[in-house]
Chains A and B, each alone.
Chain A
Amino acid sequence: MRSRDVRRVVLAVFVTFVSAPLWAQSTDPPAPPEQTPAEQTPPEQTPPSPPPSPEPPAAPPPTEVPPGAAGAGGPSGPLPTYGPASSKVFNPDIAVIGDFLGAIGKNNSDRATPSLELHEAEASFQAIVDPYARADFFLTFSPDEVGVEEGFITFTSLPANFLVKVGKMRASFGKANQMHNHVLPWTDRPLVTQDLVGGEEGISDAGVSVSRLFPNEILFLEATAEVYRGESPELFRAPTRGDLTYVGRLRGYRDLTESTNLDFGGSFAQGHNDAGPSFKTRLWGADLAFRYRPLRRAIYRRLILRTEAVWSRKELEGGVVNAFGAYVSGEYQFARRWFGGVRLDRSDRADRPDRQDQGLSALLTYWPSEFSQVRGQYRYTKYANGIKANELLCQLLFSIGAHGAHTF
């Protein structure tokens, strides 16, 4: 029964995304290409020119390399049609982000971080694949492993407001699970992530994600359904092929005023856990974020209040264990380069709901420029086994290469 369902699911997803590009192709014939990037500086027109009569468009000039590219090590002059130089223009946007972490203070738990480490170096490669898709790769190099944090193709030209991603991805479960380390508003991940949602890696697996937008006048509404292989370290195990992980998410968003908005969602995840072949873990999540950013002072002021709660139901040898965890966090930008923040943490351990981790953090962040960031986090943690830790965590983030977009 179950495997037949699984097959049906996989088939439906497959049909959706295989047929769609063809469809897009047939309904939207590829239009003639946009004007070739013409000369950068067309000849000056004299200001009081008479209304021009419709003149025949000039023949498009050959593709010129923008003058700035020449000095930056790129080719110059008209591009050759063949040869190694022409492939350079199609190179993906490349960026590398360094995440350097330091820790001072006492932490005798098994979760203590080293005094100094290059916690992660993330290389990103992003480009358009063809008229129907784009691809994004994020490779991470951490002290003891090299991995593909994410590597997926996104089909952007599907009909009926669908968006399909295929590859290895961070699953759309809540908010923090989708964030890469360098966009977190903290130096670490909340306790609830570590205890219930798979630690730093989180729910991150190979699979297919289908999401649909439901346009309406009242709010932004997006539903996402995902199927994964079933292997997320610390959380899901797939002893057999049919033991897939399923993730679903419904996200809403609404502007309250031009400066304030509300972002909310509910998530669900299910997969097999490591307790045995027939034991499952189910997670439910709820998240809410309020943002304030006055448009006139957008580069100087902002306030973000966010919270996320996760309920876990884990089947174990001795029965079902229910656990709950949540965090509440606030960040306030008080100057162009300065942010302050607070986070409250609380989470049961997934196997031992009678044991609870608790934490409190205060943060201060400084932005020398858009491309680097210094952050200090004072963290007090009371671990489930009674160990108490008082730490100062310091982080230096720096990025080189292509200018990435800021996630919302």
Chain B
Amino acid sequence: MRSRSTILALGALLAASLPDAARAAGPLNVVTTTEDLASIAREVGGDKVKAESLSRGYQDPHFVEAKPSFVLKLNKADLLIAVGRELEIGWLPPLVTQSRNSRIQPGGDRYLDASLTARILEIPTGQITRAMGDVHPAGNPHYWLDPENGKRIAKAIEGKLAAISPGDASYFSQREEDFEKRVSDAEKRWVATMAPSRGTKVVTYHRSWPNFAERFGLDVIGYVEPKPGIPPSPSHTLELIQEMKRQNVKIIMVEPYFDSKTPNSIARETGAKVLVMPPSVGGEKEITDYIALFDYDIRLVVDAIKQAGAK
């Protein structure tokens, strides 16, 4: 009995002695849900931030496990940046609730939804139901695959970082401008490389690529998944094969976390080539940052189009 009172008294003491942390001056602890956001945060924040992603680039960002070790990372976060558009709805909310970090709670001043200023595609209009599969009611969350959105994300992060440490505002602003410039220069190069193949018809596994396709002129005519989040079915696969033959589609883009069995058998039937396309930084070892992601993916697509000789 007495020990219980003692424990509670100790608890109260702890509560009194550790108010929300005079967090030591040092780099800001930025936690992001994906490696793409971490990469952009590093570009903008330089050595004033320490950015870390919860998910890995070769992992399906819809299905991340809400591990308690992530609670520890969120507990120390000075800023949480999420992709938003319900991409993380299956795992982020309980982590945030358990984080004991009041500032990153919904509506808190240290939470940034990177999608708010981005160009979002496929926002459903009209009635939506789950008969359509696991649709995202707020639009397609794979918007970072357009470098223009990368710049918008950088701008939003700059605004947030500057609000958190106003003393470094000019540092962030200068780094953000430099990043935008490098992305713009690279984008000219990517668009030019892709120019001869504009309008190439492709099939993708999941609806991860609408922004990428729009920016670089690919025409997505179908998906290996019959509906978002629903694994391939034999009848849908047959229809897709026929459609691909009819339209002479020679490219199948597959995210690295999906099984390549069905795409491979479709490829055998149609003579198409399966591209394992990482949609995120870290999806392959050499994809170390946001610009390298497009370098890698564009090279993959262009080489495949050349090989297939198809348009």
Contacts and interface: CB of A to CB of B under 8 A. Distances in A.
Contact of B12 (A12, A37, A336): A12
Contact of B229 (A48, A215, A369): A369
B141 to A, nearest CB: 13
B259 A42 contact: no
B100 A47 contact: no
Interface in A246-265: 246, 251, 253-255, 258, 261, 263
A369 B134 contact: yes
Contacts of A154: 97
B257 A299 contact: yes
Contacts of A28: 20, 102-103, 109
A157 B181 CA distance: 40
Given A40-B120, A299-B257, A337 B231 contact: yes
B69 A261 contact: yes
B4 A336 contact: no
B230 A369 contact: yes
A27 interface: yes
Nearest to A212: B11
Contacts of B167: none
A346 B92 CA distance: 36
Contacts of B1: 1-2, 5
B134 A42 contact: no
B69 A254 contact: yes
Nearest to B134: A370
Contact of A403 (B4, B69, B89, B156): B89
Interface residues of A, number: 89
A289 B156 CA distance: 41
Nearest to B184: A48
Given A220-B69, A296-B59, A297-B257, A156 B97 contact: yes
B67 A255 contact: yes
A154 B109 CA distance: 19
Interface stretch (A66-74, A141-149, A188-196, A310-318): A66-74
B106 A403 contact: no
Which of the listed residues A2, A30, A41 has the most CB atoms from chain B within 10 Å of its own CB? A41
Contacts of B125: 67-68, 70-71
Contacts of B134: 369-370, 403
Contacts of A212: 11, 14
A354 interface: no
B187 interface: yes
A70 B116 CA distance: 19
A5 B5 contact: yes
B71 interface: yes
Interface string A274-304: 0000000000000000010101111110000
B133 interface: yes
Contact of A296 (B86, B127, B177, B257): B257
Contact of B15 (A44, A69, A70, A159): A159
Contacts of B229: 369-370
A161 interface: yes
Contacts of B72: 213, 215, 220
B5 to A, nearest CB: 5
B59 A263 contact: no
B257 A47 contact: no
A42 B119 CA distance: 6
Contact of B259 (A9, A16, A336): A336
Nearest to A57: B159
Contact of B91 (A8, A34, A406): A406
B309 interface: no
Contact of B257 (A51, A215, A298): A298
Contact of B117 (A12, A38, A51): A38
Given A54-B173, A369-B133, A71 B124 contact: yes
Contacts of B66: 405-408
Given A5-B4, A8-B5, A24 B65 contact: no
Interface string B170-199: 000100010011001101100100000000
Interface string A1-37: 1100100110011011000100110011011111101
A334 interface: no
Interface of A: 1-2, 5, 8-9, 12-13, 15-16, 20, 23-24, 27-28, 30-35, 37-38, 40-42, 44-45, 47-49, 51-52, 54, 66-73, 128, 131-132, 134, 154, 156-163, 210, 212-213, 215, 220, 222, 225, 246, 251, 253-255, 258, 261, 263, 291, 293, 295-300, 336-337, 369-371, 400, 403-408
Identify the 8 closest CB pairs spanning chains A and B, nearest first. A31-B109, A157-B102, A71-B126, A253-B68, A51-B177, A220-B68, A68-B124, A160-B18
Interface of B: 1-2, 4-5, 7-9, 11-12, 14-15, 17-20, 56, 58-60, 63-69, 71-72, 75-76, 86, 89-94, 96-100, 102-103, 105-109, 111-113, 116-120, 123-128, 130, 133-134, 137-139, 147-148, 151-152, 156, 173, 177, 180-181, 184-185, 187-188, 191, 229-231, 256-259
